[in-house]
Amino acid sequence: METQFTPLTSLVGGALIGFSAVILMISHGCIAGISGIISRILPPSIDRIELPQSLIFIIGLLLSAPLWFLIQGEIPVQVVSDNYILLGIAGLFVGFGSVLGNGCTSGHGVCGISRISGRSIVATGTFMTTAFVTVLVLRHVVGG
Site for other proteins in 12-51 (CB under 8 A): 12-32, 34-35, 38-39, 42-45
Nearer CB in complex with other proteins: 9/48: 9
Residues 58-77 contacting other proteins, CB under 8 A: 58-68, 75-77
Q: Which residues contact 32 (CB under 8 A, 6 or more apart)?
A: 17, 20, 21, 24, 25, 106, 107, 110, 111
Q: Which residues contact 97 (CB under 8 A, 6 or more apart)?
A: 127
Question: Omega before 44 cis (within 30°)?
Answer: yes
Q: Which residues contact 39 (CB under 8 A, 6 or more apart)?
A: 95, 98, 99
* Options 1, 48, 70, 73; binder of other proteins; rule CB under 8 A: 1
* Options 47, 57, 70, 73; binder of other proteins; rule CB under 8 A: 57
- 80 lines the binding site for other proteins (CB under 8 A): yes
- How far apart CA 88 and CA 86 sit, in angstroms, is 5
* Options 48, 70, 73, 78; binder of other proteins; rule CB under 8 A: 78
Please report how close the Cβ of residue 104 comes to other proteins at its closest, in angstroms: 5
DSSP 44-58: TS--TTTHHHHHHHH
Please report how close the Cβ of residue 120 comes to other proteins at its closest, in angstroms: 8
Residues 95-134 contacting other proteins, CB under 8 A: 95-106, 108-119, 122-124, 126-134
